[in-house]
Structure 1
Amino acid sequence: MHVVLNQKGGVGKSTLTVNLAAVTAEAIGTQPDGTPSVLAVSVDPQGSTSWWADRVGDELPFLFTQAHKDLDGLNRLSKVKGVRHIFVDTPGWLDLSEDDSSADPLGDGRAAEILRAVLDNADSVILPIEPEPLGFKPTLRTIKRVVEPRKLPYTVVINNWDPRDGDVDLKQTQEFVEKSCGHLARTVIRHYKLHARASAEGVVVTQYPANRVALQGRQDFDKLALEIALNGASQ
């Protein structure tokens, strides 16, 4: 089970969750009865991933469930028959204040229990970061306060890099991750308007129109999914 996590909001957790689930589902095929072998789960109460899945409708190439209130269901995720990969979208509400010295910074309450259940059943964590300095501290704090204490393998993914802006921010982000965090994905998810419009248009990356730009946008997710699979991060 792959958990897409970062304290900082707006870094593309939903986009990575949905599109990684889509390309993985296409790559590994369905179960013998035709049911998808990939499940995407959202525990974000805002429900943006759920809204996206509803927009795609019956053409959604993977299974999906909104589970921000289903603690029992989350604890049974590893027992879902026939599902080979699970991708979990999480909220950006983590209150990891620097002066919080508690043993478990997730806090109390139902929302904390939900996220704790996800992490307790996780095999790996994917941390998206955009190529801008504002995301550095929240990403590092998420790793140090939440991921490393649980001894979970993780991969930091640079997301939404626009080549038209040059590579100064990209290189600075790569250097920060390699020096402070490690575990940087070789694949960079580039910025395309297609990705930003996909949820409103009710499509996932495997359903983009057949043109050069769409192919390039999809290629990034294909490469990242393969990289995650080769790193041994599976359900």
Structure 2
Amino acid sequence: MARVIAFVNQKGGVGKTTNTVNLAAIAGQALGIRSGQSQVLVVSTDPQASAVWWSDRVDEEQLPFDFHQCHDRPEDLARLKLLEQYEYVFVDSPGNIEDEKILSATLDSTDEVVVPLPPEAMAYQPTKRTIEQVLEPRGIPYRVLISDWDPRDGTVDLEQTQEYVDNHNWPRLMTVVRHYKIHTRASAEGQVCTQYPKGRIALEAREDFFRLAMELGIGGRPLPRQNRKQATERGTV
């Protein structure tokens, strides 16, 4: 069965699509192509279909994952874990996740949720609602990913956001995805992070997603759901 990881936050513009697509690219590259088939699937439940639009612009021969749009087909989402042809499925959710059927089907099929949180106060309350009103009542294993931090702004906002997460006792990923213009240009240019040109900036931008993949155990043997939940709560996975 596939391991399903969803990126969820009720606030838009927190980097769900960027993180979903680029983590899928790293996973696809790590697993390679076996028997001419991708081992990774990106699923978009966002009616804007940003992840699909981005993926569709990438050279088909270089795209290391398959993609599928199903914002209006909860029956497709309910079958995600049963997809034997894929090892990983990454789900990109919309900023507005009030569609109960889509949300329920997504979370029912999800092994773990990553909650992207940029280091800005405006994102705190939507993130809090997502965790406390959506994820925790369902017992969904989740971890917060601080994303889109611009090192040029200094570390004050980053440290305040880390403190905010820790004060709420939310499991937090140690990886921080930094802000780079190359990420914002990538969708228009039809690139994923594994295709970035050589250079220091591209290397640093890509490195964050390698770290994220390693921390999530991408490419390794996943723990059973119950054990993974316990390990997530301890912050050891």
1:211 to 194, 199, 214: 199
Name the structure 2 match of 1:223.
211
Q: Give the structure 2 partner of residue 53 of structure 1.
A: 55
Deviation at residue 38 of structure 1 after TM alignment: 0.7
Q: Corresponding residue for 1:91?
A: 94
Amino acid paired to 2:40: V
2:32 touches 2:64 (CA, 8 Å); kept in 1? no
Matches within 5 A, 1:161-200: 161-200=149-188
Q: TM-score, normalization: structure 1?
A: 0.89
Tell me the CA shift for residue 91 of structure 1: 0.6
Q: Quick one: which amino acid aligns to residue 36 of structure 1?
A: S
Aligned ranges 1:48-127 → 2 under 5 Å: 48-58=50-60, 59-94=62-97, 106=98, 111-127=99-115
Residue aligned with 1:46, SS = coil
Is 2:145 the counterpart of 1:157?
A: yes
* Deviation per residue, 1:41-61 (Å, 9 max, x gap): 000001111110111141321
Query: How far apart in 2 are the matches of 1:77 and 1:6?
Result: 20
Give the distance between the partners of 1:181 and 1:135, measured in 2 at CA: 17
- Structure-2 change in CA distance of 1:38 and 1:60 (3 Å): same
Give the letter for the 1:187 counterpart.
Answer: T
Unaligned runs of 5+ in 1: 95-105
Aligned-residue identity in percent:
50
1:37 maps onto 2:25 in alignment: no
Give, in whole Å, the separation in 2 of the partners of 1:151 and 1:42. 23
Say what the alpha-carbon RMSD is for the aligned residues: 1.7
Matched residue, 2:229: none
Residue 144 of structure 2 aligns to a residue whose secondary structure is strand
Number of positions where the alignment pairs a residue of Structure 1 with one of Structure 2: 219
Secondary structure (helix, strand or coil) at the match of 1:187 reads strand
Q: State whether residues 78 and 105 of structure 2, in contact with CA within 8 Å, keep that contact through their aligned partners in structure 1.
A: yes
- 2:122 corresponding residue in structure 1: 134
Q: Aligned-pair distance for 1:182?
A: 2.1
Aligned partner letter, 1:64:
F
Runs of 5+ in structure 2 lacking a partner? 226-237
Pairing 1:3-18 to 2, within 5 Å after superposition: 3-18=6-21
Distance in 2, matches of 1:160 and 1:167, equals: 13
Measure the CA separation in 2 of the matches of 1:113 and 1:233. 28
Is the Cα contact below 8 Å between 1:41 and 1:64 reproduced in 2?
yes
- Relative to structure 1, the CA distance from residue 233 to residue 55 in structure 2 (aligned partners, 3 Å threshold; closer, same or farther) is farther
Secondary structure at the counterpart of residue 87 of structure 1: strand
Q: Residues 88-123 of structure 1, C-alpha deviation per residue, up to 9 Å, x if partnerless? A: 0001113xxxxxxxxxxx4xxxx3211210101110
Residues 5 and 89, structure 2, Cα contact 8 Å, conserved in 1: yes
SS of aligned partner of 2:145: strand
Task: State the AA in 1 paired with 2:80.
Answer: L
Shift of 1:233: 7.0
| 1:7-53 alpha-carbon deviations (Å, 9 max, x no partner) | 1110010001000000011112223x121111100000011111101
CA drift of 1:131 comes to: 0.4
Tell me which stretches of 4 or more aligned residues in structure 1 moved more than 6 Å: none
Name the stretch that deviates more: 150-159 or 222-231.
222-231
Whichever residue aligns with residue 24 of structure 2, its letter is A
Q: Give secondary structure in 1 for the equivalent of 2:146.
A: strand
Partner AA of 1:84 in structure 2: E
Q: What is the TM-score with the length of structure 2 in the denominator? A: 0.88
